[in-house]
Amino acid sequence: MAVTKQLFKLPSLSVFYPCFNEQENLPLVVSQALEILPLVAKKFEIIVVNDGSTDQTKQVAQKLAVNHKVIRVVSHQQNRGYGASVRTGFKSSKYDWIFYTDGDGQFNLEELKVFVKYVQDYQIIVGYRQKRAEGFKRILFARLYKFYIDCLFRVHIKDIDCAFKLIKAELIKDLDLFSNGAFISAELLYKLKKKRIKVKQLPVTHYDRVYGKSTGASMKVITIGLWEPLKLYLKMKFNLNL
């Protein structure tokens, strides 16, 4: 009789979803998490970070939390930005490992099963999108943004802002992250690189949105995403506090 190999499980795992106006997508991603997480962690929690949503995201999240004790909801009174939501997620997480992905349903949590196989050799495992689901404009901007970040910080990660990351919680404790925007991912990876933390990169699948509209291409988001890395670079290089 064939013996089924048991999947390695993390001792404990905090999973958080930064969400802004994801009322339709949130039940779908949480449902998948409730199905997959028992397979990859002995104990886990799910944190919904509601970033001042103007739709029913907060109410949907609170209802899910009532029905499932492993779910917690943390809300910003006003929209503070993606980076602020990620920082809130880190701060709110209480377990040994932290995983975060977006609340828009563009990733498949099944692929986390592959990531946990590498935790004995790496303290951070990050995804890179094999094929981005967005149109040409977003793909072009992503490539230019990666070039911009590498010119400033030489991070050299395949997909600098892919929201599919598994991180040992102790790495986050003494990291002074400041970004409120899309720079948060590059800032995190750069500051871990300075600590000589090895990063494992794995391919992940990227899907089209089922519901809602992305805000990642808005002029405000792009401006903040370009300014924050330059601000950090000038502070480090010339001790300028802008």
Q: Residue 49 sits in a domain of what CATH number?
A: 3.90.550.10
In a domain, 7, yes or no: no
**Which position has the higher pLDDT, 57 or 216?**
57
In a domain, 183, yes or no: yes
97: left (phi over 0), alpha (psi -120 to 50) or beta: beta
In a domain, 92, yes or no: yes
Q: Which residue range forms the structural domain that includes residue 220?
A: 13-238
Closest by alpha carbon to 85, among 215, 194, 229, 242? Answer: 215
Mean of pLDDT over the chain = 91
Over range 116-133, report the average pLDDT. 93
In a domain, 93, yes or no: yes
Sign, CA torsion 172/86/198/38:
positive
Lowest mean pLDDT among 15-24, 116-125, 131-140: 131-140
CB 228: neighbour CB atoms within 10 A? 21
How many Cα atoms are found within 13 Å in the side-chain-facing hemisphere of 143? Answer: 8
Over range 78-85, report the average pLDDT. 96
In a domain, 33, yes or no: yes
Residue 172 has pLDDT above 90, yes or no: yes
pLDDT band at 197 (very low <50, low <70, confident <90, very high): very high
Query: How do residues 93-117 score in pLDDT, each as one tens digit?
Result: 999 999 999 999 999 999 999 999 9
Alpha-carbon distances of 130 from 62, 64, 73, 107, 161, rounded to whole Å:
34, 32, 31, 12, 13
Sign, CA torsion 53/54/57/63:
positive
State the pTM of this model. 0.92
In a domain, 8, yes or no: no
Residue 21 has pLDDT above 90, yes or no: yes
Over range 193-208, report the average pLDDT. 95
In a domain, 1, yes or no: no
Decide: helix, strand or coil at residue 28.
helix
Q: How many structural domains comprise the chain?
A: 1
In a domain, 5, yes or no: no
What residue type is assigned to position 151 of the chain? Answer: C
